[in-house]
Chain A
């Protein structure tokens, strides 16, 4: 199960944070700080997995952005690693050539997309088309 998802830039600014476990605010800040420190200095030649407390962070870097998923240590690492990529592909499709600024100014859209992609810490939909279509439906209602 995914415990939380973080999108952070190299400076450690959080662009998106989604928690599927109940954490207090102070704890969230601590987690964000620690995860950033954990992943930001890792060599690109290293694994995409790094232990974090009693869990594991699966992360991937796209330009200056780090996508990190915190999952159970027994979870399938590569499957989660590719789910990050699938999410990025969806964002890329939705914003057509996504960049960090898209995510900054449209953070509320990113939350919407994420809610169509992951729910309760589990993958909900893996079809890019289904999610993009759904976003279209929702935008019409705005």
Chain B
């Protein structure tokens, strides 16, 4: 028996080993803990040796699974011991007992740092090891520079440097900012020239982490990695001790190939050639050998090479070699290799176009689904799930349903979810989908989550064609003697809604359906009874002419549950009983459920939410975010009989309008409401000057920029507007191909909401959601567009074009042409405001989904008020300024009519949210508001703007507005802007002020008054 070198410790371990049972062991441990505790209390009497011994004992007890809630301090304090033996124990025990979140660890930072920067190499190693194993972000911030120094130091032994490399890796994972990319990439490249394999191996791990977060900064490392790999694969100059069963460090080979997978492509031809030679050699030259270790090592390298080939999207020939190899692997008996074959085939599905070749192995894969090893079955399941498409969905789902009978409980839930998703995604027809889900519930009801049966109800509700079929199926299942409660729920629900569609069939009269369902009631739980009651109520409502016998039966049941202890049941019973007395009203209340709004399948969401947790983001995942996946095929195309595609159901059908139409029509409508001034999203040359300019010319408000806006209500009727709206429609349909996709939510409302806040949704339809987030600094703005694909299929031909008005300089970063399934792409948009203007930038956005081309033109909320910086001014600042801007064109006044009536506090809020800061108390009249802000543009620089609003409490639809600033254009634009905000509100009521001639007073300057109070008060 080997001895520990510490007698006390060995004796204790022996004692523990000799304990007959757990109870004895506990007693012995408690005794020892008591002993250690008293010794620690009286610390003065402890020799360093004793201290060390007790700390080891604590660790041993801890390892046995007992809680050790004291002595942490002693362990940590040993770190600062001057001699190696104690220090070593301190470090090791601390890193076992504590984790990065412990406060005690903070106490040690200084000592640890001193050891790292000190001269004692052994201490350096101990300290680096502790930090590398349990260092947290606090360590990262205070120690990273020192660790970096050690790693590149020429005076340190490799021993220290390899630890420094991994220690730095830990710190980088805790806080990526600690590695300064600029200076570090050259150092990193130098490290790859390292002769010592320990340092090289450690550095390669560091590189993997660095490139996974920012490959661009480390391009210079790419050729070096290829060199390392070449050297290893040719076994050139590799020290004997770094070969493992004759294979030059398989671990370094694997790491190097892992690092290479984070570079998107290899452009240098000679580097590329060298790498492919190496890969070719690995692919061709790896044989199966008898020695298990050698075999594993060589296959570790081979599988990494496969992953790299897949990544490099190599020539077809090499890819087909890979597929062939994997095909061989999934058929071998050796379980590890078969497992990896299945796993890598699943990965291959995600990156390359090999679906058809893989499909040839379907039978072989299904055999693995029946393997006794659950690990292999899981991989087979994942692969089948991944390779499923319309062509093989029926077979695969059939297999999975069969497997459900024998699968162990831990897998059934996942399996059920996968079956439900595949059935939903690839259903060749919807009746098949219903069949599968009902089978699923029948076979594995306990494992079918509510989401699954909710989903089938959604589909049936949204598809009229499906309803009789579903009702018939539900009726069939109810005939079975013992059915799962979930089946009772779903059948009852469907029959309640749709059994009347079956009424003429034998055995499907309301009475028969009712008694069939009611038979199940005694066996169901309280959560199901309310559903049954609803079903009874629906049956009652559908029974026309009423059947008195059935009615009595059902009412008796309601009465019975009227006093049920379960609140939900009681409520429904009482309500249905009351409703049933209402006669015709019952028909309305219990009418068929409306269609569900289209929503993302909660199942698919659930399946995706189980994101893996990995230290480095996986290379192939990163890649699939960039490129289109061929693996996911969506079959939502309209089926032959013309029923609308499944996932588009529930949309309101307004087939003739495109989004653009709708957008413009919205404007048209509001125009008709007499509340809108035309804000044409197109750059100037468009409609308004030509069509409206002439008509309205005489009525236009004077100002520096004539005719770009006209208060439309001045026309007195909507007649003048109609041509405009129609023209706009016509124009849109000529320009755009029709897309029959409806936006979700009102585009105009979304835009207006975004005018007042800086983040939110700009646009949404069933396929895409465009979010926006903006950050404004003086005359600069940075918007980020978030383009989120909501589907399981990619959006292609994505195009985003910015049509900026002349006063904005806008730069949109590259928008990818393809948005992968369920991915979100962020596109920053830089904005510079050149001069004051109310013109609006437009985003011309289009994409293809399936056969649809969808094009929308969206106004971007980069509008005038975004360049405001609210500023509060005092009376002393305000009045001199207000006076000095004495009249037009710097100060303009106008009476605005047709204002949306709102109480003053609401108007105050509106101004504040427009970043026009209301300064209370400046105006003595309580009905008036005074606001100030600073406007930023390149031409005006920072410019103070002052606004005064005088309201008439007797008539809230009109007010007088005075706007002043040091720039005439700004004054005018701001005045018009505020006017727009006061009168156009997307949900504005139709009622507007009766049209009347405009008040011809904008140009008249207020009389010069010296007293500011009188000036303000005397105006109205």
A residues touching B (Cβ–Cβ < 8 Å)?
1, 13-20, 22-25, 29, 32, 42-43, 45-51, 54-55, 72-79, 81-83, 85-86, 95, 101-102, 104-108, 111-112, 115, 119-130, 134, 138, 141-142
Majority secondary structure, A binding face: mixed
User: Which B residues are in CB contact (< 8 Å) with A122?
Assistant: 166, 169, 202, 205
Contact of B612 among A22, A72, A106 (CB under 8 A): A72
Contact A78 B373, CB 8 Å, known A124-B163, A127-B198: no
* Minimal beta-carbon separation of A47 from chain B (angstroms): 4
Contact with A along B81-103 (1 / 0, CB 8 A): 00011001100100010011100
Question: Is the Cβ of B296 less than 8 Å from the Cβ of A81?
Answer: yes
Residue B794, interface by CB 8 Å: no
Q: Which residue of chain A has the shortest Cβ distance to B618 in the bound complex?
A: A74
Contact of B336 among A29, A43, A77, A138 (CB under 8 A): A77
Question: Is the Cβ of B133 less than 8 Å from the Cβ of A14?
Answer: no
The residue in B128, B252, B614 that gathers the most chain A C-beta atoms within 10 A of its C-beta is B614
Q: Which residue of chain A has the shortest Cβ distance to B373 in the bound complex?
A: A46
CA distance A107 to B241 in the complex (A): 26
Residue B610, interface by CB 8 Å: yes
CA distance A43 to B375 in the complex (A): 12
Majority secondary structure, B binding face: helix
12 CB < 8 A contacts A-B: A13-B64, A17-B96, A22-B100, A46-B372, A47-B373, A48-B336, A49-B336, A49-B375, A75-B614, A86-B244, A105-B1, A142-B85
Question: Is the Cβ of B67 less than 8 Å from the Cβ of A123?
Answer: no
CA distance A54 to B197 in the complex (A): 32
* Minimal beta-carbon separation of A130 from chain B (angstroms): 6
Residue B949, interface by CB 8 Å: no
Contact A23 B201, CB 8 Å, known A51-B378, A108-B56: no
Residue B297, interface by CB 8 Å: yes
Contact A106 B299, CB 8 Å, known A128-B241, A129-B241: no
Question: Is the Cβ of B375 less than 8 Å from the Cβ of A108?
Answer: no
Question: Is the Cβ of B254 less than 8 Å from the Cβ of A79?
Answer: yes
User: Which B residues are in CB contact (< 8 Å) with A142?
Assistant: 5, 84-85, 88
Instruction: Give 6 closest A-B pairs by Cβ, nearest first.
Output: A1-B615, A78-B300, A22-B99, A72-B614, A74-B618, A120-B170
CA distance A78 to B305 in the complex (A): 13
CA distance A117 to B242 in the complex (A): 13
Contact A54 B610, CB 8 Å, known A14-B65, A105-B1: yes
Q: A24-B99, A47-B338, A108-B92 are in contact. List 17 more A-B contacts (CB 8 A).
A: A1-B616, A14-B63, A22-B101, A51-B375, A72-B618, A73-B614, A77-B300, A77-B336, A101-B2, A106-B2, A106-B4, A108-B59, A112-B88, A120-B167, A120-B205, A122-B169, A126-B198
Question: Is the Cβ of B615 less than 8 Å from the Cβ of A126?
Answer: no
Residue B3, interface by CB 8 Å: yes
Interface size class of B (residues with CB under 8 A): 35 or more
Residue B13, interface by CB 8 Å: yes
CA distance A18 to B604 in the complex (A): 37
B residues touching A (Cβ–Cβ < 8 Å)?
1-5, 10, 13, 17, 56, 59-60, 63-65, 67, 84-85, 88-89, 92, 96, 99-101, 122, 128-129, 132-134, 136, 159, 162-163, 166-167, 169-170, 173, 197-198, 201-202, 205, 239, 241-242, 244, 249-252, 254, 258, 293, 296-297, 299-300, 303-304, 335-336, 338-340, 372-376, 378, 610-616, 618-621
* Minimal beta-carbon separation of B57 from chain A (angstroms): 11
* Minimal beta-carbon separation of B852 from chain A (angstroms): 36
Question: Is the Cβ of A126 less than 8 Å from the Cβ of B122?
Answer: no
Q: Which residue of chain B has the shortest Cβ distance to A25 in the bound complex?
A: B67
Contact A95 B296, CB 8 Å, known A46-B375, A72-B612, A138-B122: no
* Minimal beta-carbon separation of A53 from chain B (angstroms): 9
Question: Is the Cβ of B376 less than 8 Å from the Cβ of A47?
Answer: yes
User: Which B residues are in CB contact (< 8 Å) with A85?
Assistant: 293, 296
CA distance A43 to B372 in the complex (A): 9
CA distance A42 to B375 in the complex (A): 10
Question: Is the Cβ of B133 less than 8 Å from the Cβ of A119?
Answer: yes
Contact A76 B63, CB 8 Å, known A122-B166, A141-B85: no
* Minimal beta-carbon separation of B105 from chain A (angstroms): 10
* Minimal beta-carbon separation of A3 from chain B (angstroms): 8
Question: Is the Cβ of B132 less than 8 Å from the Cβ of A120?
Answer: yes
* Minimal beta-carbon separation of B582 from chain A (angstroms): 54
* Minimal beta-carbon separation of B725 from chain A (angstroms): 55
The residue in A14, A50, A105, A141 that gathers the most chain B C-beta atoms within 10 A of its C-beta is A105
Q: Which residue of chain A has the shortest Cβ distance to B2 in the bound complex?
A: A102
Q: Which residue of chain A has the shortest Cβ distance to B135 in the bound complex?
A: A120
Question: Is the Cβ of B166 less than 8 Å from the Cβ of A127?
Answer: no
* Minimal beta-carbon separation of A23 from chain B (angstroms): 7
Q: Which residue of chain B has the shortest Cβ distance to A130 in the bound complex?
A: B198
* Minimal beta-carbon separation of A142 from chain B (angstroms): 5
Question: Is the Cβ of A126 less than 8 Å from the Cβ of B159?
Answer: no
CA distance A125 to B56 in the complex (A): 26
User: Which B residues are in CB contact (< 8 Å) with A128?
Assistant: 241
CA distance A125 to B158 in the complex (A): 11
* Minimal beta-carbon separation of A117 from chain B (angstroms): 10
Question: Is the Cβ of A78 less than 8 Å from the Cβ of B133?
Answer: no
The residue in B60, B101, B133 that gathers the most chain A C-beta atoms within 10 A of its C-beta is B133
CA distance A54 to B618 in the complex (A): 14
Contact of B197 among A13, A29, A86, A126 (CB under 8 A): A126
* Minimal beta-carbon separation of A108 from chain B (angstroms): 6
User: Which B residues are in CB contact (< 8 Å) with A120?
Assistant: 132-133, 166-167, 169-170, 173, 205
Contact of B613 among A19, A22, A55, A134 (CB under 8 A): A55
* Minimal beta-carbon separation of A69 from chain B (angstroms): 13
Q: Which residue of chain B has the shortest Cβ distance to A76 in the bound complex?
A: B254
Question: Is the Cβ of A119 less than 8 Å from the Cβ of B163?
Answer: yes
User: Which A residues are in CB contact (< 8 Å) with B611?
Assistant: 54
Question: Is the Cβ of A125 less than 8 Å from the Cβ of B162?
Answer: yes
User: Which B residues are in CB contact (< 8 Å) with A50?
Assistant: 374-375
User: Which B residues are in CB contact (< 8 Å) with A74?
Assistant: 612, 614, 616, 618-621
* Minimal beta-carbon separation of B64 from chain A (angstroms): 7
CA distance A19 to B613 in the complex (A): 16
User: Which A residues are in CB contact (< 8 Å) with B63?
Assistant: 14-17, 107
User: Which B residues are in CB contact (< 8 Å) with A42?
Assistant: 373
User: Which B residues are in CB contact (< 8 Å) with A104?
Assistant: 13, 17
Question: Is the Cβ of B4 less than 8 Å from the Cβ of A123?
Answer: no
* Minimal beta-carbon separation of B603 from chain A (angstroms): 19
Question: Is the Cβ of B335 less than 8 Å from the Cβ of A78?
Answer: no
User: Which B residues are in CB contact (< 8 Å) with A73?
Assistant: 612, 614
CA distance A21 to B227 in the complex (A): 33
Question: Is the Cβ of B251 less than 8 Å from the Cβ of A123?
Answer: yes
Question: Is the Cβ of A108 less than 8 Å from the Cβ of B4?
Answer: yes
User: Which A residues are in CB contact (< 8 Å) with B378?
Assistant: 51
User: Which A residues are in CB contact (< 8 Å) with B242?
Assistant: 126-127
CA distance A101 to B133 in the complex (A): 26
Question: Is the Cβ of A121 less than 8 Å from the Cβ of B615?
Answer: yes
Contact of B615 among A43, A47, A72, A127 (CB under 8 A): A72
User: Which A residues are in CB contact (< 8 Å) with B338?
Assistant: 47
Question: Is the Cβ of A125 less than 8 Å from the Cβ of B618?
Answer: no
Question: Is the Cβ of B300 less than 8 Å from the Cβ of A79?
Answer: yes
* Minimal beta-carbon separation of B964 from chain A (angstroms): 60
Question: Is the Cβ of A78 less than 8 Å from the Cβ of B296?
Answer: yes
User: Which B residues are in CB contact (< 8 Å) with A32?
Assistant: 65
CA distance A112 to B92 in the complex (A): 8
* Minimal beta-carbon separation of B63 from chain A (angstroms): 5
* Minimal beta-carbon separation of B5 from chain A (angstroms): 8
CA distance A51 to B166 in the complex (A): 26
Contact of B375 among A17, A47, A124, A141 (CB under 8 A): A47
* Minimal beta-carbon separation of A1 from chain B (angstroms): 3
Contact of A126 among B92, B251, B336 (CB under 8 A): B251
Contact of A78 among B2, B89, B299, B614 (CB under 8 A): B299
CA distance A102 to B4 in the complex (A): 9
* Minimal beta-carbon separation of A121 from chain B (angstroms): 7
Q: Which residue of chain A has the shortest Cβ distance to B338 in the bound complex?
A: A47
